[in-house]
Amino acid sequence: MRSFLPLSPKPMSSELLTWHDAFCQHCLIMKGQSRHTIAGYRDAIKSFVKFTGTTKLSEISIVTVEGWISRGTTERQWSPVTSRGRIRYMILFAKWLAARDLLPTNPLVGISLPRIPKKIPRHLDIEQAEHLLRSVRNHWYGSRFASARAHAVIATFIFAGVRKSELRNLEVVDVNLPKRLISIRGGKGSKDRIVTIPPQLAAVLAHYLRERSRMVAKVGKVSPYLFLGKSGGRLSDKTLRRMIRRSRDASGIYFAPHLLRHTYATLMLEGGCDLFSLSKLMGHSRLDTTAIYLSASVGLLQQQALRHPVRS
């Protein structure tokens, strides 16, 4: 079965880019992948074409893909994770082409994938997490609304383990304070999930929502998003980065949103959360993805070591 061509192909598009556009439409419409994922596909193919000069489907091969990865690694310092992801993406694209008889076979069968080092995720310990929250709560960010927002953002990262994109996409209707639940819609892999709100986070969000209501009434602009910019629109990535920099300075702790996600996972395990439940809260498809946090918690491993039944 042959796929559809793009509705409005660019006149100067190469054969490769034309069919890649159709591939992206297939992934978006038929497979329900997110626009963020599709944007990643488009960035990758642009990089492939730029580095290799490939314009025809028949030029896709193990040699061209490995050459692309080699140049990206040496010239752009791609990590093994980035390189592995881009090879897997090209395998997916080539498989799609072969399934539609656009290529006689999948030319990337047998290509090697870079080995990814098993690194223990960096995270904050309990004392650091509590210090960060206190510092952010007591720091003045320029207004009552901005201060409440910063505290709510950092608390949501630490107490809910959300990704940065998930936090920015949260809407007010996704937060159910009476039931203490947050609905994450269209997370990584376009998966929805439910995250529970502990009492500590519920109080912070309730305070922020009151300040948010005052700000919305002042600017006269209604937005569905939970976290807003000062003009009433969705919190921008630039504003979030600035907020994080100020929070680092206020606390003396260097962190990034994903480090706080690692912190959430590790501290949840230390608090007694089982691995299966944590994988659901994190939105992981594979349990072994969550299991890496077991290694991150020295305290938890020490507790488990005490369970050894042999006594001297």
Q: Are residues 87 and 146 in the same domain?
A: no
How many domains would you assign to the chain? 2
Confidence (pLDDT) at 12 = 45
Q: Indicate which residues carry an active-site annotation.
A: 163, 188, 258, 261, 284, 293
* Distance between CA atoms of residues 127 and 134, nearest Å: 11
Domain stop point among 208, 230, 255? 255
The per-residue pLDDT for range 81-92, each reduced to its tens digit, is 899 999 999 999
Give the residues across from 195 on adjacent strands: 182
Q: Is residue 142 part of a domain?
A: yes
Q: Are residues 94 and 155 in the same domain?
A: no
Q: Looking at residues 219-240, what average pLDDT do you find?
A: 92
Domain stop point among 214, 232, 255? 255
Confidence (pLDDT) at 1 = 38
Q: Are the C-beta atoms of residues 293 and 267 closer than 8 Å to each other?
A: no
φ/ψ of 59, rounded to 5, equals -85, -5
How many Cα atoms are found within 13 Å in the side-chain-facing hemisphere of 152? 25
Q: Are the C-beta atoms of residues 37 and 46 closer than 8 Å to each other?
A: no
Q: Are residues 146 and 71 in the same domain?
A: no
Q: Are residues 139 and 249 in the same domain?
A: yes
Q: Look up the CATH number of the domain holding residue 57.
A: 1.10.150
Average pLDDT, the chain: 88
Q: Are residues 142 and 236 in the same domain?
A: yes
Q: Is residue 32 part of a domain?
A: yes
User: 304: phi > 0 → left, psi -120 to 50 → alpha, else beta; which?
Assistant: alpha
Stronger pLDDT, 226 or 191, i.e. the higher one = 226
Q: Are residues 143 and 56 in the same domain?
A: no
φ/ψ of 175, rounded to 5, equals -105, 115
Q: Is residue 114 part of a domain?
A: no
Domain stop point among 99, 118, 148? 99
Give the residues across from 176 on adjacent strands: 181
* Distance between CA atoms of residues 84 and 100, nearest Å: 25
Q: Which of 2, 106, 5 is nearest to 57 (CA)?
A: 106
Domain that holds residue 187: 126-255
Q: Are residues 137 and 42 in the same domain?
A: no
The per-residue pLDDT for range 12-47, each reduced to its tens digit, is 468 999 999 999 999 999 888 888 889 999 999 999
Q: Look up the CATH number of the domain holding residue 159.
A: 1.10.443.10
Q: Is residue 290 part of a domain?
A: no
Q: Is residue 47 part of a domain?
A: yes
Q: Are residues 131 and 33 in the same domain?
A: no
* Distance between CA atoms of residues 148 and 261, nearest Å: 20
